Amino acid sequence: MPYELGEDLHGDVEPQVGGYPDEATLWLREHAALVVGDVFLAGERGFRVQPDSWLAEGLTHDDLRERLRPLVELPVEILLPTHGHPILENAHETLESALDS
């Protein structure tokens, strides 16, 4: 990766752990927003970790949730998934719930 996790990038953007070693989520500190990409979905079934069919071979949901667990340490107020609507209310609780289910 051309950056380190937690490093300050231009515009107050900070890469955080992603679903896979070559992926990152992006923490937008000024907005308390977390851009989560494809690792989470927000749709009819709520905000959740990506489905089994999207997991890399040999990776389990338990592995993925454990890898993403450090994200709950951030004071998240907004979640921005690639798939689905943004989470603009109760974002931190929504993130925790997705990682606990």
pLDDT of 92 above 80: yes
pLDDT tens digits for 25-78? 999 999 999 999 888 999 888 999 988 888 888 889 899 999 999 999 999 999
pLDDT of 19 above 60: yes
Domain with residue 89: its CATH number is 3.60.15.10
Q: How many domains does the chain have?
A: 1
Distance from C-alpha of 9 to C-alpha of 40, rounded to nearest angstrom: 23
In a domain, 4, yes or no: no
User: What domain range includes position 34?
Assistant: 13-100
In a domain, 29, yes or no: yes
In a domain, 7, yes or no: no
Distance from C-alpha of 89 to C-alpha of 69, rounded to nearest angstrom: 20
E-strand stretches of 24-75: 24-28, 33-43, 46-49
